[in-house]
A and B are shown apart, each in its own frame.
Chain A
Amino acid sequence: MNRHHGITLAALSLILPTAATAGALDGILARYAAEAQRSATAFSGFSAERGRALYTTRFGSGKPATPACTSCHGPDPRRSGQTPAGKPIDPVAVAASPTRYTDIAKVEKWFKRNCSEVLGRECTAVEKGDWLSYMVKQ
């Protein structure tokens, strides 16, 4: 019985962090979906394909040194990137960095900064949701 409990607990401890992480990311996506629905345009769900395009497009409307997300994060979301000052950036794909998108304040902070650097404006809720949906599938 004790042994059985031990195994159950060990199994739970393996599953729970992942579940909690996925829960937090679902919450963030739900929040962006609600925000997207409130906006005037018709919203019919996020698209990982649009997210991929957002990730790889060279916009050139922000800072010249960072035309695309890939300028710093690299072409493969499952691999580490590098800041212009040489600091490594953890992969942006959820599979490679499971705890990356758990704090909405942190997610918002980086969307705000990075969208302004790459696109020269803030990202919309649809764009943020698309981007995250793409990262979930990577």
Chain B
Amino acid sequence: MSPPGRGYFSQELFVKVPYRALALGLLAAMLSATLLGRARAGSDHFFPGVSDPVVREECGSCHLAYPPSMLPARSWQRMMAGLKNHFGDDASLDAATAERVRRYLAANAADAGGRRYGDKLTRGLPAASTPLRISELPRWIREHRKVPAWEWTHKEVRTKANCTACHADAERGYFDD
């Protein structure tokens, strides 16, 4: 036994549902999602943050846990070999933790797993150069050339290591602003 008025309902549905509008809407949504995803992933200024909780803790207590894709693997190797004097501080770790951090940073470096994000930032860096500071990369210097000296010494900034002072969304990997 079919429910009363079934024919009426199905006819109503068939007639009233704006399939064409829905299809167009869906297409538009898919297109913008694709574009947005591409913009995010391919943006010159998106560098995914550290996903490993141990690395986040050890590299993100004193300063922003800098995205590993901002330096080549050789820089991270050099960094991890000199934690005893880490920009003037003793940041040494036990051997197991240090090894975990070293592996993560090297695997996601600008010339390894993080290439699609960090390739442009490390462009122009001589192969023989192994910088420890992201702010020494030729591309970084060019991108920040318009920042006046007083802004760097402002009490809310104080150091070039303080990305979040100007890049509000740096913790999430966005450096567009």
Contacts and interface: CB of A to CB of B under 8 A. Distances in A.
Is B a genuine binding partner of A? yes
Interface of A: 63, 83-87, 112-113, 116-117
Interface stretch (B10-18, B45-53, B87-95): B87-95
A63 B85 CA distance: 13
B89 A83 contact: no
Interface of B: 60-64, 88-91, 156-159, 161-162, 164-165
Which of A84, A86, A113, A117 is the most central at the interface, judged by chain B CB atoms within 10 Å of its CB? A86
A112 B91 CA distance: 10
Contact of A117 (B61, B89, B156, B164): B89
A117 B88 CA distance: 10
28 contacts: A63-B88, A83-B61, A83-B62, A83-B63, A84-B62, A84-B158, A84-B159, A85-B64, A85-B159, A85-B162, A86-B156, A86-B158, A86-B159, A86-B161, A86-B162, A86-B164, A86-B165, A87-B60, A87-B61, A87-B63, A87-B164, A112-B90, A113-B89, A113-B90, A113-B91, A116-B90, A117-B89, A117-B90
A116 B88 CA distance: 12
A51 to B, nearest CB: 23
A63 B62 CA distance: 16
B89 A87 contact: no
B129 to A, nearest CB: 23
Contacts of B90: 112-113, 116-117
